[in-house]
Amino acid sequence: MAKIKGLIFDLDGIITDTAEYHYLGWKQLAEEEGMEFDRDFNEKFRGVSRLECLDLLLEKNNREITFEKRKRMAERKNNYYNEYLKTIDRNNLLDGIFDILQRSKRAGYKMAIASASKNTKTVIEKLDIGDMFNAISDGYSVKKTKPAPDLFLHTAKKLNLKPEECVVFEDAKAGIDAALAANMTAVGIGPESRVGHADYRFDSVKDIDLTKILEF
């Protein structure tokens, strides 16, 4: 096995819990449009791009709309989401993540963010953690979204590392699929039913035991 030299972190659900704000944004749009939507269905949106989430919502509600209307709806949801983003700061880091970032940085690992979100830069700025990372990839970086390996492969290249030298931390099924497809070590955060196929799994970020994954 290759020596691990880089750590790649998903953003939403690993660094910070923005899933609730995404949920509230989608809920407002769904209510205004008279569409059915609940927390359970929101779980399907983990790691999935904005337009693909909207398509899932439209499909659930048997709605067919024009491309233009679809674009406007996605934009509206994003505006609602951005209102919530205005309220976040360092206190919104998930329990235990700052310690993990600091320890790995001190240990000399290269570090990156790889998120499907087009709001990645805003979120990182609000959390004030940009200086921890050597590379940041987001929803603009590649065409093919998770579960395709493209975003992680693009990120490894930016870090100047081979895929097998990278570990990915992910909370989404699509994210674990993408990491494994990229030939990287996958660490899943969440229930067995969602990320059980990862190389390592922990219930939550604060349960991550780096010594099990890396040579400290």
Contact positions toward Mg ion, by CB under 5 A? Answer: 10, 12-13, 47, 171-172
CA dist., res. 157 & res. 160, Å (int): 5
Count of residues interacting with ligand BG6 (CB under 6 A) = 18
- DSSP lists the bridge partners of residue 202 as 189
Nearer to Mg ion among residue 11 and residue 30 (C-beta): 11
Residue 147, preceding bond cis, omega within 30 degrees? yes
* Residue number with the smallest Cβ distance to Mg ion: 13
12 carries an active-site annotation: yes
CA dist., res. 197 & res. 96, Å (int): 23
- Member of 28, 78, 134, 183 binding ligand BG6 (CB under 6 A): 78
Q: Minimum Å distance from CB 38 to ligand BG6? A: 15
End-to-end alpha carbon distance in the chain: 16
117 binds ligand BG6 (CB under 6 A): yes
The residue assigned the tokens 């490894």 is 156
Q: Minimum Å distance from CB 183 to ligand BG6? A: 22
Query: 80: part of which helix (H) or strand (E)?
Result: helix 67-85
40 carries an active-site annotation: no
CA dist., res. 110 & res. 151, Å (int): 17
Nearer to Mg ion among residue 10 and residue 165 (C-beta): 10
Site for ligand BG6 in 52-71 (CB under 6 A): 53
The helix/strand/coil state of 7 is strand
- What, of ligand BG6, Mg ion, none, does residue 119 touch, CB below 5 to 8 Å by kind? ligand BG6
45 binds ligand BG6 (CB under 6 A): yes
- In terms of Cβ atoms closer than 10 Å to its own Cβ (0-12, 13-18, 19+), residue 17 is middle
Binding site for ligand BG6 (CB under 6 A): 11-12, 22, 45-50, 53, 78, 115-119, 139, 172
Q: Would you name the residues annotated as active-site residues?
A: 10, 12
